[in-house]
Structure 1
Amino acid sequence: MVDREHSPEPAGPLPIRRLQESVINRIAAGEIIHRPSAALKELIENSLDAGSTSIKITVKDGGVKLLQIQDNGCGIRKADLPILAERFTTSKISSFSDLSKLTTYGFRGEALASMSFVANLSVTTKTKADTCAWRAHYADGHLVPAKEGFTADPKPCAGNDGTTITVENLFYNTPTRLGALRGASEEYARILDVVQKYAVHNPHVAFSCKKAGSATPDLSTPSGSDTKQAIRLIYGQTIAKELLHSDITSSEDSESTSRMDVDEESPSWSAEAYFTSANYQAKKTVLLLFINHRLVESARIKKALEAIYNGVLPKGSSPFMYLSLQIDPESIDVNVHPTKREVRFLNEDAIIERICNKLQETLVNQSQSRVYEYQTLLTSGILEIQTSSKAKGKAKELPPEERDSGEGSGPSTPAIATIPKKTLSKHKVRTSQKDRTLESMFPVLNPSQVVTGRTAEEEDEEPPPAVRLATEIKESECYLSSVRSLREAVGKVKHHQLTEIIENHIFVGIVDLSRCLSLIQHAKKLYLVNHGALAEELFYQLGLRQFGNFSRIRLEPPPSLRTLVSLAVHAEEGAKNSRLSEDQIVDRIVEILMDRREMLVEYFSMTISSEGMVESIPLLLKHYTPNLDKLPLFLMRLGPQVNWTSETECFESFLRELAYFYVPEPLIPDKSSPSPSEDEQSARWQIQHALFPALARYLVAPKSLLDRDVVQVANLPDLYRVFERC
């Protein structure tokens, strides 16, 4: 119980104070910019309002370190740059009545202002009338100098027509908001999701989105396409081939239209929808909803659209839907949410019902003639089982004296069950690892190629080298979130069919060692694979798997780091065109590696002594030694190719370089000698008996390998059809 006699006296009312302008602006900024993807949405809308036909986006660390968008729109006048980042400065409206006929994305003038309060904002812009571009920097809504000692006025610079907006160090002054963000990979996925949706709705605009430092974009769409082509390019052929299309207008008369229609004085509207048929099923609904070209969310519309599929799709399955709704601006209110994520419009229930009825009618008409994809199965074994079972059934019905199949017995009907069904040659699958490989089919050019000393009985008793060399590589325990996110990213891009092919393959032989081409077989199909590309991905994954717990390859005697880097820099043609001399380049690379010796030995078991001697390098796979001729190149590339400033990108880029070093390719292929050298024989042995077994056991194959690194070259049934015609 509370002792009321000794309870403190109630405090008097606190005075009401006016908040400081900086506090007000940061609070307002938190309503508009709550994560990097929200900032990008505002920037994309500004670029589209400027009439851009090309939008390029660059992201670093999920948009926290860098978020840059470049467009080729109309640009910004130099005279407008001083107030560009102030709150409530806009070119879209001039009075409150303009909100009733708004046709642009932005109108309040808060997006750039909000970014300037929570990030470092810079703008480079050029109009067609300008002779040069102008660059300006902003903080807290006002122009600021780029460096101390300079004026805050916009500076002339080189640039193309359009605007480039750069947002750096997002939420640097709001640590709570920064700490609430997810990992860089998840924030980048949110950014890609926003770009994908706007790219579908604006197929006439070319979109590009990539990570900073990446050579290829993660998303790239051409200009001048249509909506269906954009969906196919972004969301895949599986969705595109099941798309249904429907146009709905307010003037349509349909028997399914509810009697609660809008009256004659209601404003007109129209809608365009692309939605998947009953043949497509997904675990989660994907809805792209645009109202007057504005990306919005509506739980009511989403629930109504999902209800259309209740009687069509199995429970737990969801569709893909894209809906673009055009309504008279006078009947819509866009100013109901700080981020313009939600809107309100007149006759909402009637319009939603009309759209759902039309979509349901289209879906039902299609589902009545549903087409199912199927795969023809080989039935030879099934027929044999069925024939045997029928014969056994008949045998049971016969009297005992007739079931005896011996000589001189009665009817021979039961003998049908004992006749084996012959398997055609085209249905036989070669599965033995002891069959001939490709190398054994060529004449022996060098006696050292012949393997002797083992009898056929020993071959039967002893397992093949691939089995003997397959050793368990356990995943190391690592509590770094960066390494965990990289491991999770490997699983997210797994292509299950390709992984199964590699896992259950049979090695046929090496086609071209210098070009890293080999043949493998899976079931009745023959594949030509780039074992170099497969090996690079494998060794990257093995590096992640053993992070912080590598075995070592000791170099005796240890070579000099500077000498190795000097050899590589001298052989590099690009170094000759650099502004720095070769010695300066070598000094910089050696300095970078020497400063990080402790990190290299702790995480990667790469030991460099204080005197600059390379004592050991990491071992990724037992019984496999990388080509040490590539060691100078590996050490040189660690300087410029590894991002040493960001933890996640540092680990990823280092392991990529380590994997490239381990790729089994000769530095300079020797084509002068007709017979293979000892190094070439050793490389071939490692590829067959160490690399390919490791690929089968550990590789999680990404879809990107299907582009050009794994190609089907033959199919046994198809070959038999060709021979039958001859």
Structure 2
Amino acid sequence: MDSRARLSSPTPPEPLPIRRLQESLINRIAAGEIIHRPASALKELVENCLDAGATSVRVTVKDGGMKLLQIQDNGCGIRKSDLPILAERFTTSKLSTFSDLSHIRTYGFRGEALASMSHVAHLSVVTKTKSDSCAWKAYYSDGVLVEPKAGQTSDPKPTAGNDGTTIIVEDMFYNTPTRLSSLRSASEEYSRILDVLTKYAVHNPRVSFVCKKAGSSSPDLSTPSASAVTHTIRLLYGHSISKELIHIETSSSAHQTRKIDDMDEDDPIDDPEAWTAEAHVTNANYQAKKTVFLLFINHRLVESSRMKRAFEAVYNGILPKSSFPFIYLSLEIDPRSVDVNVHPTKREVHFLNEDTIVEKISDAIQQALAVQNHSRAFAYQTLLTGGVEYDAQASKKRKGKEREVNVTEEARPSSNSSNMLNTDALKKTYSQHKVRTSLKDRTLDSMFPVANPAKIFPNSSGQEKMADAPTGTTKAREIGESECSLTSIQTLRRNLIKGKHKYLSEILEKHIFVGIVDLPRSLSLVQYSTKLYLVNHGSLAEELFYQIGLRQFGDLGRMKLEPPPPLRTLIEIAVNAEKSTEDTCIHFHRTDCEQRIVDILMARREMLTEYFSLDITSSGLVESLPLLLRDYTPNLDHLPSFLMRLGPQVDWTSEAECFDSFLRELAYFYTPVPLFTSVSDSEEQNAQEKSERWQIQHVLFPTIRRYLAAPKSLLDRDVVQVASLPELYKVFERC
């Protein structure tokens, strides 16, 4: 038979039998629709935390959430009796009948999030309600309780824990290798997690959010509770956005003032089509490469490409081409007008009168931008050199001059030496790339008149020095590293080297001190290359003194106290001045607190003398303090507080933790702090302030330049670039 004939009259295949899928396969398919990646799992869990009334949400992530995703909250917790069905599908406390879906006010309602995670990961839960005497821990797999170890029962186990719930998701997608291989790198998945948390933190400013990587001491995201939306936006998205924000409020009717959440659904004046909107959008001064759009409908984080396009169209006539705004919109609609069950991950919602609502919000944004549009008026002036017209030849000639080899006036050769210059010496250095390299150049302090010149005199290097400052040369002395065979100290020293940030250390090593700009706030200016940095010299000093103490461990100098003060008297002074003593020592009387601190220090006198040069006699007199840096004297007014803090703040139970926490407290004691003096002692205050300024400039910063191995944590808020010479020249050229 011809093949063409077979094609023209095909034989119909036999129908395949319809089978019922296995329950495990059904659940795994459903889990794939809910949990796409670690960020989607996090979104579900964070919403559960907020539904539980949490005011603090802490997230710990390992390998982008694929190895570990832990979410801890301080919400209401879960009853022990509910734990057996917690991870089963369609088990929820949010719905009881189908009609409840029409006025749902919570984030979750289907009861599929934890069930889905138990099918694609190892899930464990630690929870405690306020009425429970202890927390309960349970392990789940495929929606049911499982035993944590072979031979144990699957029942929830009592454990220690705080009020609230901790969800631990480990080895996500371990049983679905295709989904696991489709995920991006760990760093990109972690950035998606941070993006989700950032958006929920903006919308929930009264909730504290913390996110960090497992093993990291500092969080990558941290927001305080009880703050405003604008404050959270400034904290998470930066000052450049927050200073350009416009606050907009609009609603379905001009007279409507109540929010939808405050309305009672049985209220006779309640309108099912009522809505309110609150937005924070940037004005015409802010431009970005892409739109940042945060949309919350009834407090649920959703996406709407239609809304995004409509709002971008408002900015098209205001912003330059390829420039986009920042928009945060919170839209509250009557729950009866919203269908939240249209997407497996609740990423989209449908609601009535969408076109009308979007149009009205767009009009409100446009009106607010029109009011703010006056801020984009630029001042300019006409040329004073004969007009603004010039020919093309003059333009080409001016552009050609930029490529010619020129010599500045300072480097212009004489006629006798012109033949000796080589090509490298004739290369022009443009003004925007010139770097001040002389340490004798003027600082900020030298630009202001001196009120009492008799109190200041120049030292041998030409730098100004206080007459009542410590005597001796300002030349930095060598700080050698002591020999120490203790494993804990060697580990701490290795950690310092390992945590050193190369570029920041280079900035501080090669910086030029410009001046102290705000002594009470510990702010100074330093220059590196063609950039200007604002640094917190208090934070730099604290890290420096910690490293110096660790460097000289066991071989610290001594600062004698004459006469030696009694240890107990100093601690009594500190305890009486400490406002929070009743909170920190709630289980003890104040006298018992003082005695306990004294006993701790007296019992360890020999160790304090041998390792830290802190000499305390058997009768309780403080004879000497550790001397970290020559020519630098700490403020002894803080000595009582330093000795008091050694009791509760130092971990005396572990060798490494003891040494580390003691050195941290010692560094805190040495850190320069603002002086608080009465107005009647203004002359003495000025003298002390000048002495402190001299000490910071001529002792502290040279030592920072030489010895500080700067950690990355200083980049968070203690070292900020405030100016760049090439960038400033670009601004001047546009003007």
**1:339 aligns to what?**
345
Q: Is the 8 A contact 2:272 2:334 kept in 1?
A: no
Residue 519 of structure 1 and its aligned partner are, at CA, apart by 6.9
* Mapping for residues 644-683 of structure 1, pairs under 5 Å: none
Distance of aligned partners of 1:441 and 1:169 in 2 relative to their CA distance in 1, 3 Å threshold: same
| 1:460-511 Cα deviation digits (max 9, x unpaired) | xxxxxxxxxxxxxxxxxxxxxxxxxxxxxxxxx999xx99x959x9765999
**2:115 aligns to what?**
113
Distance of aligned partners of 1:431 and 1:56 in 2 relative to their CA distance in 1, 3 Å threshold: closer
| 1:699-719 Cα deviation digits (max 9, x unpaired) | 9x9895373357999x9xxxx
Letter of the 1:705 counterpart: L
| 1:500-546 Cα deviation digits (max 9, x unpaired) | x959x9765999xxxxx99756569798899x999x9xxxxxxxxxx
**1:251 aligns to what?**
253
Q: Is the 8 A contact 2:145 2:155 kept in 1?
A: yes
* Mapping for residues 442-521 of structure 1, pairs under 5 Å: none
Structure 1 counterpart of 2:162, from 160, 163, 169: 160
| 1:423-451 Cα deviation digits (max 9, x unpaired) | xxxx999957588799992899999x9xx
Residue 74 of structure 1 and its aligned partner are, at CA, apart by 0.4
**1:650 aligns to what?**
none
**1:12 aligns to what?**
14
Residue 190 of structure 1 and its aligned partner are, at CA, apart by 0.4
Q: Work out the CA distance in 1 between the residues paired with 2:169 and 2:386.
A: 69
Q: Work out the CA distance in 1 between the residues paired with 2:231 and 2:183.
A: 34
Distance of aligned partners of 1:385 and 1:216 in 2 relative to their CA distance in 1, 3 Å threshold: farther
Structure 2 counterpart of 1:41, from 40, 43, 63: 43
Distance of aligned partners of 1:123 and 1:433 in 2 relative to their CA distance in 1, 3 Å threshold: closer
Distance of aligned partners of 1:29 and 1:440 in 2 relative to their CA distance in 1, 3 Å threshold: farther
* Mapping for residues 151-190 of structure 1, pairs under 5 Å: 151-190=153-192
Q: Work out the CA distance in 2 between the residues paired with 1:494 and 1:109.
A: 49
Q: Structure 2: which 5+ residue stretches go unaligned?
A: 257-269, 395-430, 443-458, 464-471, 478-500, 516-523, 544-551, 556-655, 657-701, 726-735
Distance of aligned partners of 1:34 and 1:253 in 2 relative to their CA distance in 1, 3 Å threshold: same
Q: Residue 368 of structure 1: SS of its match in structure 2?
A: helix
Structure 2 counterpart of 1:235, from 234, 237, 241: 237
Distance of aligned partners of 1:97 and 1:569 in 2 relative to their CA distance in 1, 3 Å threshold: farther
Q: Work out the CA distance in 1 between the residues paired with 2:531 and 2:67.
A: 50
Q: Structure 1: which 5+ residue stretches go unaligned?
A: 255-263, 377-381, 394-426, 450-492, 512-516, 537-567, 572-640, 642-683, 716-726
Distance of aligned partners of 1:440 and 1:35 in 2 relative to their CA distance in 1, 3 Å threshold: farther
Structure 2 counterpart of 1:326, from 326, 329, 332: 332
Structure 2 counterpart of 1:360, from 348, 362, 366: 366
* Mapping for residues 121-270 of structure 1, pairs under 5 Å: 121-252=123-254, 267-270=273-276
Structure 1 counterpart of 2:105, from 96, 103, 106: 103
Distance of aligned partners of 1:232 and 1:519 in 2 relative to their CA distance in 1, 3 Å threshold: closer
Q: Is the 8 A contact 1:244 1:277 kept in 2?
A: yes
Q: Is the 8 A contact 2:33 2:344 kept in 1?
A: yes
Residue 11 of structure 1 and its aligned partner are, at CA, apart by 3.5
| 1:166-219 Cα deviation digits (max 9, x unpaired) | 000000000000000000000000000000000011111111111111101111
Q: Residue 441 of structure 1: SS of its match in structure 2?
A: coil
Q: Work out the CA distance in 1 between the residues paired with 2:716 and 2:242.
A: 20
Structure 2 counterpart of 1:274, from 261, 277, 280: 280
Q: Residue 281 of structure 2: SS of its match in structure 1?
A: strand
Distance of aligned partners of 1:702 and 1:241 in 2 relative to their CA distance in 1, 3 Å threshold: farther
Q: Is the 8 A contact 1:221 1:230 kept in 2?
A: yes
**1:379 aligns to what?**
none
Residue 363 of structure 1 and its aligned partner are, at CA, apart by 1.0
Q: Residue 341 of structure 1: SS of its match in structure 2?
A: coil
| 1:24-75 Cα deviation digits (max 9, x unpaired) | 1000000000000000000000000000011100000000000000000000
Q: Is the 8 A contact 1:520 1:528 kept in 2?
A: no
Structure 1 counterpart of 2:715, from 701, 705, 720: 705
Q: Residue 48 of structure 1: SS of its match in structure 2?
A: helix
| 1:118-162 Cα deviation digits (max 9, x unpaired) | 000000000011111000000000000111110000000111100
| 1:598-649 Cα deviation digits (max 9, x unpaired) | xxxxxxxxxxxxxxxxxxxxxxxxxxxxxxxxxxxxxxxxxxx9xxxxxxxx
Q: Work out the CA distance in 2 between the residues paired with 1:569 and 1:13.
A: 83
**1:405 aligns to what?**
none
Paired residue total:
461
Residue 367 of structure 1 and its aligned partner are, at CA, apart by 1.0
Distance of aligned partners of 1:371 and 1:161 in 2 relative to their CA distance in 1, 3 Å threshold: farther
Scaled by the length of structure 2, the TM-score of the pair is 0.55
Distance of aligned partners of 1:110 and 1:429 in 2 relative to their CA distance in 1, 3 Å threshold: closer
Q: Is the 8 A contact 1:123 1:164 kept in 2?
A: yes
* Mapping for residues 556-635 of structure 1, pairs under 5 Å: none
Structure 2 counterpart of 1:292, from 291, 295, 298: 298
Over 2 Å off, 4+ runs? 1-11, 368-374, 382-386, 427-447, 505-511, 517-530, 568-571, 701-713
Q: Work out the CA distance in 1 between the residues paired with 2:533 and 2:385.
A: 28
Residue 14 of structure 1 and its aligned partner are, at CA, apart by 1.5
**1:313 aligns to what?**
319
Letter of the 2:717 counterpart: D
Residue 370 of structure 1 and its aligned partner are, at CA, apart by 3.1
Q: Is the 8 A contact 1:437 1:509 kept in 2?
A: no
Distance of aligned partners of 1:39 and 1:431 in 2 relative to their CA distance in 1, 3 Å threshold: closer
Q: Work out the CA distance in 2 between the residues paired with 1:524 and 1:208.
A: 32
Residue 163 of structure 1 and its aligned partner are, at CA, apart by 0.3
Letter of the 2:186 counterpart: A
Q: Is the 8 A contact 2:73 2:165 kept in 1?
A: yes
Q: Work out the CA distance in 2 between the residues paired with 1:366 and 1:436.
A: 47
Distance of aligned partners of 1:345 and 1:16 in 2 relative to their CA distance in 1, 3 Å threshold: same
Q: Residue 278 of structure 1: SS of its match in structure 2?
A: coil
**1:674 aligns to what?**
none
**2:461 aligns to what?**
441
Range with greater deviation from structure 2 (273-282 or 428-437): 428-437
Scaled by the length of structure 1, the TM-score of the pair is 0.55
Residue 252 of structure 1 and its aligned partner are, at CA, apart by 2.1
Q: Work out the CA distance in 2 between the residues paired with 1:296 and 1:102.
A: 16
**1:74 aligns to what?**
76
Letter of the 2:132 counterpart: D
* Mapping for residues 399-418 of structure 1, pairs under 5 Å: none
Q: Is the 8 A contact 2:514 2:527 kept in 1?
A: no
Q: Is the 8 A contact 1:137 1:145 kept in 2?
A: yes
Distance of aligned partners of 1:703 and 1:238 in 2 relative to their CA distance in 1, 3 Å threshold: farther
Letter of the 1:233 counterpart: L
Q: Work out the CA distance in 1 between the residues paired with 2:34 and 2:237.
A: 28
| 1:345-380 Cα deviation digits (max 9, x unpaired) | 111111111111111111112113436699x9xxxx
**2:481 aligns to what?**
none
Q: Is the 8 A contact 2:525 2:533 kept in 1?
A: no
**2:31 aligns to what?**
29
